[in-house]
Structure 1
Amino acid sequence: MADVNGLARSLIATDLPRRDGVIQVGGLDLAGLARTYGTPLFVYDAARMRRAYRDLSQAVAGFAEVDYSVKANPRPAVIRVFAEEGAGAEIASGAEYEAALTAGLSPERILFAGPGKSDADIERVIAGGIGEIHLENFEEMGRVAAAAERYGQRASVAIRVNPGPDAQGGAMRMGGKPSPFGFDEEDLEAVVDRIVAEDRLRLTGLHLFAGTQGLSASILLGQWAYGLRLASRVAARIGRALDTVDLGGGLGIPYFAGDGPLDLDAIHSGIPALRAMVAEDPRLATARIVLEPGRYLVGPAGLYVAQVRAVKRSRGQLFAITDGGMHHHLAASGNLGQIVKRDYPVVAVVEAAGAVSMPWTVVGPLCTPLDILARAAFLPQLASGDLVAVLQSGAYGLTASPTGFLSHPLPAEILVDGGKATVIGP
């Protein structure tokens, strides 16, 4: 049986030191932040974001550049942290486009994906400029061409491919089956020919996203090699080099008991073989190869802090009822795509050395049995007024949650950077 509290202990030991028993984030006292800004509260550590970005960039150096997938956390202040490191942005809506611009990115550093782009969003990015629009269906192809015609432009587009069954997926496989995302691989040549026939479109790239929450270096390396082979097919079909090969994101982080971190050393060891593939095809050698993770870069940098309102024992089970819950952090409750509901790492914000831990069910204030933040978190004795924190909460948190449910107030979002806390949302 996996050590249910081992991941939380490991994360505290490596990234979240305690001072006098209180978790520190970026050198600031987490309990003090909760007193200042109230609870529930999201806290993000900019230094940890930068470290994740630099570590990944170094692991894939000489092969790929790293952009940021805005959907993971779309706050402009978060996007700006990565933009300052040199990242571009992958967006999926007009609002995310505006957030990327607000963060200081130039339009040509933005890639626009998503299976259901609105006419208004297509018009906005063509009028304002965009690095590339990733086409996902034939109707969208026509709408982008029509918008480009109205603005007297030739739009740069990429084909998003729904890969065949030979592509390996991650924890949430996104290829090899019927999908709303992208064009099926078996139709690739026909799609290329349709784009080439559109005077207002210029085919500049390919986008492959085979899976998400991948913790296996070998699977990720295999996906990237598969994407390079598809890119070679496209380049051969059009008879010229591609500008961009977007190999997607999909890099995972440990959330649950038994999860281990992605091995960047193993990723780095596999890069020479991928570089050799690129060098063998002159039509790929000049392409900008892109990875665009979101969760991997921002997830470990975030904590969701809630205050205990009441404790109770029901038929032998301990419950901590808090002011935070699934309305702010749906993923932590296990209701954002999880089939088997498992606990994110949950810790006490203040814990005395040597405190005895016991299993707690940590729940929120909502009138639904789904509002559970942990089913068996090993925590010290809790009382009303104590604080708990859900770790690994920087990605798919507040903006991926049903914030209007039961009309509770929104939590503040705080960015800690250089020893200073700044409110960045909502």
Structure 2
Amino acid sequence: MAEATAAAPDLASALIAENFSRDPAGLLQIGGLSLTALAERHGTPLFVYDADLLRRAYRALRAAVAGFAEVDYSVKANPNPAVIRVFHEEGAGAEIASGAEFDAAVRAGVPPQRILFAGPGKSAADLDRVIGGGIGEIHLENREELLRVATAAERHGTTVRVALRINPGATAQGGAMRMGGKPSPFGFDEEELSEAVAAVEGQPRLHLVGLHLFAGTQGLKAETLIGQWAYGLALAAQIARQTGRPLETIDLGGGLGIPYFSGDATLDLDALRAGLPPLVETVRNDPRLAGARVVLEPGRYLAGPAGIYLARVLAVKHSRGSRFVITDGGMHHHLAASGNLGQIVKRDFPVVAVRQGEGASPCTVSGPLCTPLDVLARAAPLPELAEGDLVAVLQSGAYGLTASPTGFLSHPTPAEVLVDGDGAVVIRARGA
């Protein structure tokens, strides 16, 4: 993906108009609460999430795919139990990628049988943890893991429900990052699907109930997602033919994207809904699939737009014709915004001043760390700023704090606050 040179002000303005607000003095608000007041109360840097926006995203997606799929939440996007709880209260199960995420989901109230465990390197300790805790399903990604799960199941004297994660062929690709169609640590290659099914079927402590397909992520085009899901249904039918029994679960992954940069389009849920009837017919007309629970498990799409990363200006420096806004926030808390998390999302995220001002011009927003990598934005169009002002990084509800190198240079971790109704509660204390 080509690196964006700036987060256009029209994207930031559109996001503010859609998700947030400004008070009569031009100060940015979240859920009707002042970000300035939240910063004074909880310190900066600070992550703030709006529970109503989390609910709104979940309900909109659930309505768009109603009659085809259920919607679970991918905990890796934001594993704070308070965030997981919001989605669980809306009806979501959880997809996890570690034993600690299993614990977080259970603390949030998710029943273990509504939890799916994916990931290419599940340890024996984590498998013991989740099998002993009654997890609903484990998604197998390689032969060694298959044997580890069978061994753990024998140790616990139980039969474990499993699905096969398949690394699909090139025809199933799409999104900003391909997750299949090439050599990959994720899942069994499609070419070895039959051998993988036979290997699972040969283990008496494993009960093969489903398929997991995750072809790509940060997908913003409905037609791409529909194509991936259709491919997944075909693979699911292939597994059912080989086992001779209907599937119970068809996990079509997440991969739904959100706009970060100028030119990014918001995923069109109406177009997504319009593309579903052929998929619904495929499931309905195939007795091997008709009874299966089809599930989507997005994370970024559900949590990303609800979050703001708030940082305070420490200094404004002019160097050889360039303006640098130096803040107390940086890549140690928000690696994705710095562009260093991976190839899915580079920079610039939409960054705005909390206090509305005139005469915006491009500037570099950098953090307090002694590395040139600590840059939150390279060309953010911001008004004149001074020490003490606040800047807000939008689209920060997913892959923020827990996806970042928080130990680098030993700065304290920021607090996380959840705004719900007319109040705000600390869901992670500063320094915790």
Q: Which residue number in structure 2 is paired with residue 14 of structure 1?
A: 18
Out of 229, 234, 244, the position equivalent to 1:224 is 229
Distance 1:226 1:17, change over 3 A: same
Q: How far apart are residue 338 of structure 1 and its match?
A: 2.9
Q: Structure 2: how far apart are the matches of 1:283 and 1:341?
A: 42
Q: Structure 1: how far apart are the matches of 2:345 and 2:93?
A: 34
Q: Structure 2: how far apart are the matches of 1:304 and 1:150?
A: 45
| 1:390 paired to 2:382 | no
The amino acid that maps onto 1:367 is C
Q: Which residue number in structure 1 is paired with residue 371 of structure 2?
A: 368
Q: Which residue number in structure 1 is paired with residue 278 of structure 2?
A: 273
Q: Which residue number in structure 2 is paired with residue 401 of structure 1?
A: 404
Q: How far apart are residue 339 of structure 1 and its match?
A: 7.9
Q: Which residue number in structure 2 is paired with residue 127 of structure 1?
A: 132
Equivalent positions of 1:45-60 (< 5 A) are 45-60=50-65
Q: Which residue number in structure 2 is paired with residue 40 of structure 1?
A: 45
Equivalent positions of 1:167-316 (< 5 A) are 167-316=172-321
- Equivalent position SS for 1:300: helix
- Equivalent position SS for 1:199: coil
Q: How far apart are residue 342 of structure 1 and its match?
A: 2.3
Contact 2:74 2:298 in 1 (8 A): yes
Q: Structure 2: how far apart are the matches of 1:230 and 1:25?
A: 43
Contact 2:325 2:365 in 1 (8 A): yes
TM-score normalised by the chain length of structure 2: 0.97
* Structure 1: runs of 5 or more not aligned: none
Q: Structure 2: how far apart are the matches of 1:342 and 1:89?
A: 29
- Equivalent position SS for 1:202: strand
Query: What count of residue pairs does the alignment treat as equivalent?
Result: 424
The amino acid that maps onto 2:352 is V
Identical-residue share of aligned pairs (%) = 70
Contact 1:3 1:258 in 2 (8 A): no
Contact 1:2 1:258 in 2 (8 A): no
More deviation in 331-340 or 120-129? 331-340
- Equivalent position SS for 1:166: helix
Contact 2:336 2:345 in 1 (8 A): no
Contact 1:3 1:257 in 2 (8 A): yes
Cα root mean square deviation, aligned: 1.2
Q: Structure 2: how far apart are the matches of 1:68 and 1:370?
A: 31
| 1:64 paired to 2:69 | yes
| 1:111 paired to 2:80 | no
The amino acid that maps onto 1:13 is A
Contact 2:118 2:140 in 1 (8 A): yes
Q: Structure 1: how far apart are the matches of 2:84 and 2:346?
A: 30
Contact 1:252 1:262 in 2 (8 A): yes
Q: How far apart are residue 184 of structure 1 and its match?
A: 0.3
Q: Structure 2: how far apart are the matches of 1:257 and 1:31?
A: 27
Out of 4, 10, 13, the position equivalent to 2:8 is 4
TM-score normalised by the chain length of structure 1: 0.98
Out of 337, 344, 347, the position equivalent to 2:349 is 344
Distance 1:267 1:81, change over 3 A: same
- Equivalent position SS for 2:276: helix
Contact 1:169 1:175 in 2 (8 A): no
The amino acid that maps onto 1:424 is I
Q: Structure 2: how far apart are the matches of 1:33 and 1:286?
A: 48
The amino acid that maps onto 1:309 is L
The amino acid that maps onto 1:283 is R
Cα deviations by residue, 1:150-186 (Å, 9 ceiling, x for unpaired): 1111110000000011112210001000000000001
The amino acid that maps onto 2:153 is A
The amino acid that maps onto 1:383 is A
Equivalent positions of 1:403-422 (< 5 A) are 403-422=406-425
Q: Structure 2: how far apart are the matches of 1:302 and 1:3?
A: 17
Contact 2:7 2:350 in 1 (8 A): no
Q: Structure 1: how far apart are the matches of 2:345 and 2:311?
A: 24
- Equivalent position SS for 1:42: strand
Cα deviations by residue, 1:108-157 (Å, 9 ceiling, x for unpaired): 00000000001011011111101100000001111111111111111100
Distance 1:381 1:324, change over 3 A: same
Contact 2:6 2:378 in 1 (8 A): no
- Equivalent position SS for 1:231: helix
Out of 332, 336, 352, the position equivalent to 1:331 is 336
The amino acid that maps onto 2:58 is Y
